[in-house]
């Protein structure tokens, strides 16, 4: 049971985030009384659903937002002047 695979959240995690976020928003709007806390709770649900949706779209576009490739790019961009300064 992996949470990430190939630099992105796995499919079941994206689905769970979307369903959980929509469920939190539904419960907030249907059953809680209007207050600042219920608005923050609904906002939290919306954020969860948005993160799940963005991760599923990144999977379709073959983008790896949770990959460590930036470390390799940083090493490739160093120049000899940077190495001499160290």
Q: For the residues of 58-81, what is the DSSP string, one character each? A: HHHTT--TT--HHHHHHHHH--HH
How far, in Å, CA of 21 to CA of 7, rounded? 22
Of the listed ranges 8-12, 23-27, 42-46, 61-65, the one predicted with least confidence: 61-65
Reply yes or no on whether the pLDDT at 34 is more than 80.
yes
pLDDT mean over 31-37:
94
Query: Which 8-state DSSP code applies to residue 6?
Result: T
Reply yes or no on whether the pLDDT at 66 is more than 80.
no
Pick the more confident residue, 81 or 5.
5
pLDDT score recorded for residue 35: 95
Is residue 4 helix, strand or coil?
Answer: strand
């Amino acid at each position: 049971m992996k949470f990430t695979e190939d630099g992105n959240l796995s499919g079941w995690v994206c689905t769970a985030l979307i369903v959980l976020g929509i469920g939190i928003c539904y419960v907030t709007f249907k059953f809680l009384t209007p207050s600042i806390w219920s608005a923050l709770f609904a906002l939290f649900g919306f954020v969860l659903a948005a993160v799940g949706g963005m991760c599923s779209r990144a999977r379709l576009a073959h983008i790896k937002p949770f990959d460590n490739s930036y470390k390799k790019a940083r090493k490739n961009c160093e120049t000899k002047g940077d190495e001499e300064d160290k």
